[in-house]
Amino acid sequence: MDPVRTIVRGEDGWPPRLSSIPEPPERLRVRGNLGPPGERRVAVVGSRVVDGYGAELTRAIVTGLARAGVCVVSGGAAGVDAAAHEAALGAGGRTIAVLGTGVDIAYPAAHRALFDRIVEAGGALVSEYEDGTPGATWTFPRRNRIVSGMSEAVLVVRAGERSGALITASWATRQGIPVLAVPGDVREEGSAGPLALLRRGAKVAASAEDVLAAIGMTGQLGLPLTSEEGTPQDLAPREVAILETLGRVPRHADEVARAAGVAPGAALSALLVLELRGLCEQRPGHYFLRPR
């Protein structure tokens, strides 16, 4: 495990924005790299149970933010948090997880590998709690002020009426930080939180461009390295063949394999590589398509 260090408020490396928020932490335990003081950061949060729509929007928006050089901050939880961290890593960006436990504890346990990848990719795990501190009903809502406090804006993707993501949005409002929300079908539970925020004046976010505009980065959406034909130059030949079979309509992995002349197992591996690169999207049942 990478060494963990303590940063006290005001010391070199301390996130400057945290010094001016209400109830600032006195110190942070950090595993990994917090990044430079002037780094652009956006918090992306939402429900711990995310549907396909929420996962898709999270991936699309976070991929755009990462390509624009924005560090994505979230809480390391299941659902939208995990989707945000994964999308940032898949786009080659930096991401920070602010934990409701000690930084030496993986919660949920299934995220241990994700947390290791965050650190290995140049990001960080952060907590104000002592090492060994388990999660409790009060630690997660409390840490949300750090999630928002480290960021220039907070984006809520999917959230129920009592979701902890709304606590993060509430902290952001107290901190004077813009809140954005992704609209959805008003009949769905996951739309209740964003709808309530939009009624209270949150900005609509339907794309990474909307989020970038909220932090003064209009027109800075990045793109992956591509050749003149529009195919990334550093893909393996098998991945290129798979990519060229994909379109806007989902195709099953087996159908893609046949069209590309690749064995099913190898095709699925290539599709997962493309998904991590943000070059394709997966739908339930192993169906894949090009992103919008």
Residue labelled with tokens 């898949």: 90
Contact between residue 66 and residue 177 where contact means Cβ atoms under 8 Å apart: no
In DSSP terms, 41 is beta-bridged to 71
What pTM does this model have?
0.76
Compute the CA torsion angle 115, 117, 119, 124 (nearest 10 deg).
-50
DSSP 191: G
Mean pLDDT is lowest, of 124-133, 218-227, 280-289, for 218-227
The CATH number, out of the four listed (3.40.50.450, 3.90.25.10, 3.20.20.110, 3.20.20.70), of the domain defined by the range 4-214: 3.40.50.450
Break the chain into its structural domains and give their ranges: 4-214, 237-289
145 has pLDDT over 90: yes
Q: What is the per-residue DSSP string for 115-173?
A: HHHHHHTT-EEEESSPTTPPP-TTHHHHHHHHHHHT-S-EEE-S--TT-HHHHHHHHHH
87 pLDDT higher than 80: yes
Q: What is the reported pLDDT for 1? A: 58
The rounded distance, in Å, linking the Cα atoms of 43 and 80 is: 11
Lowest mean pLDDT across 45-54, 132-141, 161-170, 238-247:
238-247
In the chain, alpha helices (H): 52-67, 80-90, 112-120, 139-149, 164-175, 192-199, 208-214, 237-245, 253-260, 264-276
Q: Running DSSP on this structure, what letter comes out for residue 29?
A: E
Q: Which fold has domain 237-289?
A: Arc Repressor Mutant, subunit A (1.10.10)
Instruction: Kindly report, residue by residue over 262-274, the tens digit of the pLDDT.
Output: 888 888 988 988 9
Give the C-alpha separation, 291 to 55, whole Å: 13
Query: For the chain, what percent of residues have pLDDT higher than 90?
Result: 64
Q: What percent of the chain has pLDDT over 70?
A: 93
Q: Which residue has tokens 């309530």? A: 196
Q: Please answer whether residues 10 and 19 qualify as being in contact, where contact means their C-beta atoms are separated by less than 8 angstroms.
A: yes
Q: Is the pLDDT of residue 223 over 70?
A: no
Nearest to 63 by CA among 88, 39, 40, 32: 88
